[in-house]
Structure 1
């Protein structure tokens, strides 16, 4: 899914190729004019200022076009990684096997590798091939023997990197797997620190973290060792190849005197550029294999999530007597107060237990609250409801899971790129003004590690509030907040019902507080659910 983001032809790619062509042409003409200048100096002839100016312009133009091409590569890399970021962020509420925090750590690690893939492979491969063709053509034109040496020696460089690159991809996968294990264990430990201390499991957890850290360090060192050895071998082969060309030209020029100095000079200026392009092409393949090892793991994760989602069972949803499907048009435009939503009875087997969910009736413009004892399946039902609505109508539901986290980005990006004016009222109601003042709304990056879980939760509540979907699902949004913030959250949810006619469904353990603040109220009690444990 994610890898297909690279298949489009964009203006940035075309501009990068164009600038690189101009850079190569500038270099070729620079070498030719430089040779003419040297000839004039040897013959003690007069040199015009215009020639010196042309040489300076061509040399400057080459580096300007190179930098412009690199800039276009970076812009394209940013565009693609931002697109990936949005895909991943929007997919986080669908995750049932992975914690959102773990997935975001993968995102941070993989996006860094993705930029390498875009800048060091896609563009570099195209641009290096163009450089190779032009430089080989110039060499062949001036001295065919040197061109033959290029043909004979050049295959060794990409062959080396193809062999090394295949190994690098496997090593990179191993590295990321070990990193994921370490991050997942560390995050779970931090979230359940009290339980770890109460059960006296500190040493056990420390040993596990040390083990995963050691495995990750070993995998990283193995990858670095491969990169170092391959880089050394590449430089050695390149040096030997250029030396052979120089030796052959020396014999032709000094001993046999079968080549002009001008031709030898131009060939010796062009040949290193040929091998540099070949080296860049080989290194880009190496970077590709390292990046692909990381990217394929994340891509597989998302593909598997989609497969799991399609293969799971969904709750049948009936809206005003019509079963919800992918064909009927269900949106804000055809909703009205009191519209009935019936969720059919549903059975599910999960982790050694079977749960029978009864038929549930919901209403728009009414606060729907799911209550029940711990472990009865309230959160699971809300997740099933979210997945079911998304399966039938992907753009009709917003869902805030119990464990939700923010990513390192601007405040605006964390709430779906809404303008400040759109959400200013909710920002004040949720007491998020200090966060906006501290980090800024449009520009400053929020560091998730230095803001509290309650602040992260309120930012995510704001994101769901601003999503503007008919169904809005919250899993314990009041947990971990003080009484003042709980009341503020309830006011925001009530505003969704009264002002925007939404169907709000919330799982909570604080029914007494909700009853005091919210009316009308539809209570769905799961305390009497039939839960059977498999033997």
Structure 2
């Protein structure tokens, strides 16, 4: 809770605004209930000359209360959106060494899991602090005994929801940790479906997945059980407190005659407001503890120092080629053989290179090495500049459960005009503007669903905003319809004609404009027909040849 609260306090304008709005909300709550008591008292005394004015005044206060309550919630939603965007940006920059399933779950489920703390719990904290405080202050002047009952009984409510909240936090953390494991296991099984079928292990895997999903369901039900039990106890204590206030007011009005009807009415009407405000905080506290469980997993990733150092960019300003690979070897962890061996290659600025070869030959691995996503076991990869901006268009773009704007900008602040321009370049502008919420339309799970071609164009829009110095296309036409493929080819020709580009492709027409075609066979570069393989660098600038 402290970590999440300190994170919220980094956006000071939102908590300050919540405090101000909650203060005005608390004033309207007190004034509204006193005015209702005045209306009842006027009706009892048949003072009709004041009734109309009281009704109009009460209506105005009701509207003001609804307005302030809505404003408080809107501020919470704005802060939650800001925090979520910034956390995702930090996670992307972090480049964790976790498996892809765990990374995707952290970016989506874990980040979404902490949102209720900012848009539900945090606004309720201010609301449930100011409303009861002003009610007690008002009751000290109206009826001191009622104020004392509220002061004595109120602490039992937070005591119970703290006890249940701590239990919920631990269960939520267990749930998110298990979801990380389950996500990666599910992803691995999906990737290996063909292998599992060949070895007749599909039924066993299906049973295993069912057991794992059942375990996750049980963890979720445990949290719901705690929520229902917590709600029951909060209702019981609230009803007990309201009953004591009503009893005291009733005895004072009917038996002891030490208070009048208006005072008793104010006490009885304000009591539910007082206890409900604290009870609502209890429900939100339960939600906040669920967010805390998600945040433990999230902050563990952000705070962790990766054991494996990130690849260090080696620059050599004197070399004539933009990128140079010298005797590069790479082997995946636990693999017996090298995926790439003795790779010598010079990539000159502005040239378009096509990597060709059979599936599994090492084309994608070479591209990942050039993009600095992998580090070779031996040899050297040097760059002519240390701030080389590399764009990568993959075969399977990932769409976040977020808005179109965030999916294109990757949670950075970018002008709408720039976003619409890149959408126009990939012929998605009209489609996006036709949606109800435009750029703020949520896509992915729970939002507007996009076709495979539209997803690929969303990723292409990301690259257009980056203005890369080097662009890598990994099978850009795989699985696309003719229209989308033509759109991508047109964008490549118009927008990236003057930058260095590496394309991995099987289709001949996708690499027809390549300056060089490099064949990879079994992890090595092969010289072939001069018409197909124009030029291969042989390890140093002194060995470079011209096309």
Uncovered stretches (5+) of structure 1, i.e. residues with no partner: 322-337, 531-535
More helix by share: 1
Partner in structure 1 of residue 127 of structure 2: 127
CA contact (8 A) 1:309 1:387 kept: no
- Cα–Cα, structure 1 residues 167 and 357, in superposed 2: closer, same or farther, change >3 Å? farther
CA distance in 1, matches of 2:351, 2:177: 46
CA distance in 2, matches of 1:22, 1:483: 59
CA contact (8 A) 1:319 1:342 kept: no
CA distance in 2, matches of 1:19, 1:250: 34
Partner in structure 1 of residue 534 of structure 2: none
Partner in structure 2 of residue 25 of structure 1: 27
CA distance in 1, matches of 2:7, 2:519: 43
The alignment partner of 2:145 has SS state of helix
CA contact (8 A) 2:426 2:487 kept: no
Matched, 1:520 2:515: yes
CA distance in 2, matches of 1:173, 1:129: 28
Partner in structure 1 of residue 58 of structure 2: 55
CA distance in 2, matches of 1:247, 1:274: 16
- Cα–Cα, structure 1 residues 18 and 520, in superposed 2: closer, same or farther, change >3 Å? same
CA distance in 2, matches of 1:10, 1:479: 47
TM-superposed deviation, 1:457:
3.9
Partner in structure 2 of residue 330 of structure 1: none
TM-score by length of 2: 0.76
**Which deviations, in whole Å up to 9, do the C-alpha atoms of 1:416-449 show, x marking residues without a partner?**
375444454444xxxx799779979747655579
CA contact (8 A) 1:389 1:397 kept: no
CA distance in 1, matches of 2:482, 2:342: 32
Partner in structure 1 of residue 312 of structure 2: 314
CA contact (8 A) 1:412 1:442 kept: yes
CA distance in 2, matches of 1:504, 1:458: 18
Matched, 1:233 2:233: yes
Partner in structure 2 of residue 81 of structure 1: 84
- Cα–Cα, structure 1 residues 5 and 344, in superposed 2: closer, same or farther, change >3 Å? farther
CA contact (8 A) 1:493 1:504 kept: no
CA contact (8 A) 2:452 2:480 kept: no
When the two chains are superposed, the root-mean-square deviation of aligned CA atoms in Å is 4.1
TM-score by length of 1: 0.78
The alignment partner of 1:47 has SS state of helix
Mapping 1:51-200, distance limit 5 Å: 51-84=54-87, 94=95, 97-99=98-100, 103-104=103-104, 107-110=107-110, 112-200=112-200
User: Which stretch shifts more, 55-64 or 3-12?
Assistant: 3-12
- Cα–Cα, structure 1 residues 192 and 488, in superposed 2: closer, same or farther, change >3 Å? farther
TM-superposed deviation, 1:297:
1.7
Uncovered stretches (5+) of structure 2, i.e. residues with no partner: 376-382, 410-415, 526-547
Partner in structure 1 of residue 368 of structure 2: 383
CA contact (8 A) 1:16 1:69 kept: yes
TM-superposed deviation, 1:286:
1.4
Partner in structure 2 of residue 471 of structure 1: 470
TM-superposed deviation, 1:134:
1.0
TM-superposed deviation, 1:414:
3.9
The alignment partner of 1:296 has SS state of helix
Matched, 1:503 2:505: no
- Cα–Cα, structure 1 residues 490 and 434, in superposed 2: closer, same or farther, change >3 Å? same
User: Which stretch shifts more, 341-350 or 61-70?
Assistant: 341-350
CA distance in 2, matches of 1:261, 1:241: 20
The alignment partner of 2:324 has SS state of strand
CA distance in 2, matches of 1:394, 1:130: 52
Out of 400, 405, 409, the residue aligned to residue 398 of structure 2 is 405
CA contact (8 A) 1:164 1:286 kept: yes
TM-superposed deviation, 1:214:
0.6
- Cα–Cα, structure 1 residues 25 and 492, in superposed 2: closer, same or farther, change >3 Å? closer
CA distance in 2, matches of 1:495, 1:5: 44
The alignment partner of 1:145 has SS state of helix
TM-superposed deviation, 1:365:
0.6
